[in-house]
Structure 1
Amino acid sequence: MVIFGAGYGFRNLARIDWLKTRRLCYWGDIGTHGFAILNQFREQFPHATSLLMDRETLLAHCEHWQTEPNPETAVLTRLTEAEQSLYDDLRENRLGDRVRLEQEKIRFETLVEALGKV
């Protein structure tokens, strides 16, 4: 099942009890807001994993990087160590100026391969 969230604000999903017992993957943009939304999602579903929100995916798609208009700078407490490292690099502009990779820009075959591992 795929749930389209359209960004922040999916607290209503927390009312669906059976979601708390299912394997959940979150797939968002690789950017500061994508990680902030993942952090918010894990407030309701701490067992959720991220999909294609990693350094390898970001670096493999550098030709599609965009500039994030208003980067998030908040301290996020629900990211894995690898996610936190990438988030810190993005918010500190260590990879470039306000780097963001929209999920729609990730190659389809990369998505198919990742979904095959879920």
Structure 2
Amino acid sequence: AGLAENGFERRFGLRFDEPLVRYRLLDHPGPVTDITVPVSQFIDPGTGKVFITENKVNGLAFPPVPDAIVIFGLGYGIQSLSSISWLKGKEITYWGDIDTHGFAILSRLRQHFPQARSLLMDQATLQAHLELCTEELDSKRFTGELAGLTPDELPLFAALKDNTYGKNLRLEQERIGYGWLLDAL
């Protein structure tokens, strides 16, 4: 590991600034429902369902769901969840932006948690929200290949790469109507 990813500190058993995981308990009536912990201290909260959203706003606005938590605001930092073995036994649903990076993050998540499903990352959602789309910068687009997408997701990712629906189209998840989320859940 060298000095990357706190290699020196790890090698000599020193404390280091770990990535943080922020999550909300979605069916908890108590006073503490929004929790941030170092990844090594992220223990199983005892729920069967785990939602992961790319953006913080969506995690904060996520509605109550029985037996569930929502992890949010990680973006590509989703890689930090790979060491959390208890997630392997959970029902995981990922909700990201409908853009090249949203699908790249989903594919990366499935490298460690192949059971992960996507939420509102489909052609119907995109087409219903075309007027709310923005443009990805050419320099910021992900144009590689993704092995971790389903047969339903691959054509949409290809269409985004090929500009089928518009130039460098992106639909940020926070632009999708709240009613769409409620219906999808």
The two structures have a TM-score, normalised by structure 1, of: 0.93
Give the structure with the larger helix fraction. Answer: 1
Tell me whether 94-103 or 12-21 shows the greater mean CA deviation. 12-21
| 1:45 and 2:113 correspond | yes
Within 5 A, what are the aligned runs for 1:97-116?
Answer: 97-115=167-185
Secondary structure of 2:80's aligned partner = helix
1:36 maps to amino acid? A
Match of 2:53 in 1: none
Match of 1:61 in 2: 129
Q: Take 2:145 and 2:172, find their aligned partners in 1: how far apart are those partners?
A: 22
| 1:84 and 2:154 correspond | yes
TM-superposed deviation, 1:12 = 2.6
Give the structure with the larger strand fraction. Answer: 2
Secondary structure of 1:63's aligned partner = helix
2:145 maps to amino acid? V
Q: Which structure has more RCO (C-alpha within 8 Å, separation ≥ 6)?
A: 1
- Paired-residue identity, %: 50
Consecutive aligned runs of 4 or more in structure 1 exceeding 3 Å deviation: none
- Please, which runs of 5 or more residues in structure 2 have no aligned partner? 1-68
Secondary structure of 2:152's aligned partner = helix
- Please, which runs of 5 or more residues in structure 1 have no aligned partner? none
Q: Take 2:154 and 2:121, find their aligned partners in 1: how far apart are those partners?
A: 11
Match of 1:29 in 2: 97
Q: Quick check: 2:92–2:116 contact (8 Å CA) kept in 1? A: yes
Aligned length: 115
Q: Take 2:120 and 2:86, find their aligned partners in 1: how far apart are those partners?
A: 25
The two structures have a TM-score, normalised by structure 2, of: 0.60
Match of 2:54 in 1: none
Secondary structure of 1:9's aligned partner = helix
Deviations 1:53-76 (A, max 9, x none): 000000001110100112110000
TM-superposed deviation, 1:5 = 3.9
Which protein shows a greater Rg?
2
